[in-house]
Chains A and B, each alone.
Chain A
Amino acid sequence: MAWSEDQPMVSIKNLHKSFGALEVIKGVSLDVMKGEVICIIGPSGSGKSTIIRCVNALNDMQKGSILVEGQEVNDPDLNKLELRKKVGMVFQQYNLFPHKTALENIMMAPLLVLKQDKAEVEELARQLVKKVRLEGKENNYPGELSGGQQQRVAIARSLAMTPDVMLFDEVTAALDPETVNEVLVTIKELAEDGMTCILVTHEMGFAREVADHIYFTDKGVIVEHGRPATFFDDAKDPRTKEFLSQIL
């Protein structure tokens, strides 16, 4: 196809999204290059989740364009399944399948969706278990794992589909303070391995450390964005300043 790696991997242009009469995204644009990590921060209800859910078509959009590797998401003929094979997503509430063990959770999609060979999938799954440091927990059910462990299984489950982009929606927000770090370390390693990531997070220290670019949203628009150092130390917009002063 026309897309090549020097173009943005995800390109959002003038995104508009309403829930009924309520317009929650009012013209958002942002680009993510391959291997880049961007963080979206902003007050609750400002539309952070909605933006990233539009990227893998969990939400539809009213206006604008999202290109994922050159493929238009805002298209009635979009093949959602093909799109979602390229875009992984991790949720705040983990959403593991409770009737399957950790390893089965990881293996399910490659087996059923990609129809890959069982032995190969199992090998990949065991590698991923190691990568998220959950050796020994392969045969535990989600209900038997801590929040942090479940979230790492969820990350491995998403990675098993070998996506090109990963979306993280406040993945540490439901965790105990002690377990937040184990999940952040996993994401950081992923970012260092060159995974393209779009993160919604309230962990400012983490955002500053891993992000290549920070976007600040308020009431459905991007108010300010920039490199972490500039953004955190030299915010221009009063809304950004106020938000940062409250959270830091």
Chain B
Amino acid sequence: MKNSKYKTDLPVMLSPKTATAGRFNLSLKPWHGLLLLGICVLSSTAAYTADDTANAPPFEVLLRWMPLLLKGFVFNLVISVSAMGIGTLVGAALGLGQISLHGSVRKTSWFVTQFFRNSPWLVLLFFAMFLLPFEIKVGGFTIPLPDWLKAIFGLSLPVMANVSEIVRGAIASLPSGQWEAADSLAFSRTQVLWRIILPQCVKRMLPPWMNLYSILTMATVLASIVGVSEVMTLTGQALSAEDGRTDLLMPFYSFILFLFFIYCYPIARWTVYLEQKFAVKT
């Protein structure tokens, strides 16, 4: 009764078995990664024989740049983990705000959530890039805000909004009988939420949360557009340092795809595993 007014529009929440995210993830197979690696290796060797012999072989060039590219990729991961962390903390609070008993808190949280959830990620990134100052003064201290930090804030905004919806949806998806039973045992609202409702929600929230993380990880390349030296930016720089050789495009970009694949694939597999495990249990 109490939470019946919160409806979920997250398909993941309704039935883990028919979750579209699950089906999408299932279609990702290990051979997709091998395919990418194959393209990467083949294109770097095959293209070479056809080209003039004055240039170094593409594979050799790729190997030469690899340490830098890997460093850039690690930077992408740092951005993704940080944005996920911030977005999850703020988003969880916002999600709880959405079920607050105070009308103004509830409405504000709802509005903020909807606003950031329905804005293109790139727009939010630009928003953070150009609206945040390059440094902030707190007391006598000056804290610099480098571009990569701003990018983390920018990407944490959509994460925040999505986490807020995941939290609200998970709470709404619990049977109202749980609230009623807890209420009738004289638990306070805070106790009901923290001791009874939220512990049951963790299971339901984990798969969509991990899905969101995968999406965020892939979205970190957006930061290249605003000049953060992550893997895409560095690839662009490497390619122009090699005089824009077109035979290098295939090996370099398929290498990046491969990097993202080997990182996101296990997460996707694990998400599917969790979804199936929880679906059977409940």
CB within 8 Å of B: which residues of A?
56, 58, 80-82, 84-85, 87-89, 91, 93, 95-99, 108-109, 112-113, 143, 154, 157-158, 161
Question: Once the chains are docked, how many angstroms separate the CA of A161 from the CA of B187?
Answer: 11
* For the complex of A and B, 5 pairs with smallest distance between CB atoms: A95-B181, A84-B186, A95-B177, A89-B184, A109-B185
Residues of A near B175 (CB, < 8 A) are 93, 95
Is there an interface contact between A85 and B200, defined as CB atoms closer than 8 Å?
no
**CB nearest to A88 among chain B residues:** B184
Q: How far apart sit A58 and B179, CA to CA, in the bound complex (Å)? A: 10
CB–CB A158/B185 < 8 A: yes
A22 to B197, CA, bound (A): 31
A residues in contact with B281, CB < 8 Å: 143
The residues of B that contact A82 with a CB separation of less than 8 Å are 186
Binds A, one of B11-19, B28-36, B188-196, B264-272: B188-196
Residue of B nearest to A160 (CB): B185
B200 touches which of A56, A84, A98, A158 (Cβ 8 Å): A98
CB distance from B272 to the nearest CB of A (A): 22
Q: Nearest chain B CB to A33's CB is how many angstroms away?
A: 22
A98 and chain B: residue at smallest CB distance = B200
Known: A98-B200, A99-B200, A143-B281. A93 touches B177 (CB 8 A): yes
Main secondary structure of the interface of B (DSSP, over half): helix
- Residues of A with C-beta under 8 A to B185: 84, 88, 108-109, 113, 157-158, 161
**CB-nearest residue of chain B to A56:** B184
Q: Please, how many residues of chain B have a CB less than 8 angstroms from a CB on the other chain?
A: 20
Contacts of B237 in A (CB 8 A): none
Q: Is A97 touching B178 in the complex (CB atoms < 8 A)?
A: yes
B186 x A58 contact (CB < 8 A): no
Q: Is the CB of A113 within 8 A of B191?
A: yes
Which among A58, A93, A96, A108 is the interface contact of B184 at CB below 8 angstroms?
A58
Contacts of A85 in B (CB 8 A): 186
**A58 & B180 in contact (Cβ 8 Å cutoff):** yes
Please, how many angstroms separate the alpha-carbon atoms of A84 and B200 in the complex? 23
Cβ of B242 under 8 Å from chain A: no
B88 to chain A, nearest CB (A): 21
A99 is contacted by which of B180, B184, B199 (Cβ under 8 Å)?
A: B199
Least CB distance from A198 to B in Å reads 13
- A58 and B195 in contact (CB under 8 A), knowing A84-B183, A91-B180? no
CA distance A222 to B46 in the complex (A): 89
What separation, in Å, do the CA atoms of A106 and B145 have in the docked complex?
53
Q: For residues 1 through 55 of chain B, which have their beta carbon under 8 Å from a beta carbon of chain A?
A: 1
Measured CA separation A180–B184 after assembly (Å): 23
Chain B residues contacting A98 (CB-CB under 8 Å) are 200, 282
Assess the B184–A84 pair: CB atoms within 8 A: yes
Distance A108 CA – B191 CA, assembled complex (angstroms): 11
5 sampled A-B residue pairs with Cβ under 8 A: A84-B186, A91-B181, A93-B177, A95-B180, A113-B186
Known: A88-B184, A108-B185. 18 other contacts (CB 8 A): A58-B184, A84-B184, A85-B186, A88-B185, A89-B181, A91-B180, A93-B175, A93-B177, A95-B175, A98-B200, A99-B199, A109-B185, A113-B185, A113-B191, A143-B281, A154-B181, A161-B185, A161-B186
| Contact digits for B155-190, partner A, Cβ 8 Å, 1 yes 0 no | 000000000000000000001011011111111100
- The answer to whether A58 and B177 have CB atoms under 8 Å apart is no
The answer to whether A108 and B195 touch across the interface, beta carbons within 8 angstroms, is: yes
Residue of chain B at shortest CB distance from A111: B195
* B195-251 CB contacts (< 8 Å) to partner A: 195-196, 199-200
Query: Complex: how many Å from CA A85 to CA B195?
Result: 18
A109/B200 in contact, CB under 8 A: no
A167 and B177 CA atoms in complex are apart in Å by: 15
Give the residues in chain A near B181, CB-CB below 8 Å: 89, 91, 95-97, 154
The interface residues of chain A lying within 8 Å CB-to-CB of B195 are 108, 112
**By the criterion CB–CB under 8 Å, are B186 and A109 in contact?**
yes
Closest residue of chain B to A82, judged by CB? B186
| Binary interface encoding of chain B residues 73-93 relative to chain A, with 1 for a CB under 8 A from any of its CBs, else 0 | 000000000000000000000
Q: Is the CB of A109 within 8 A of B187?
A: yes
What is the distance, in angstroms, from B105's C-beta to the closest C-beta of chain A? Answer: 21
**A84-B184, A97-B181 given; A112·B199 CB < 8 A:** no
Residues of B contacting A58 in the complex (Cβ-Cβ under 8 angstroms):
1, 180, 183-184
Cβ contact within 8 Å between B186 and A95: no
Chain A: which residue is nearest B184 at the CB level?
A89
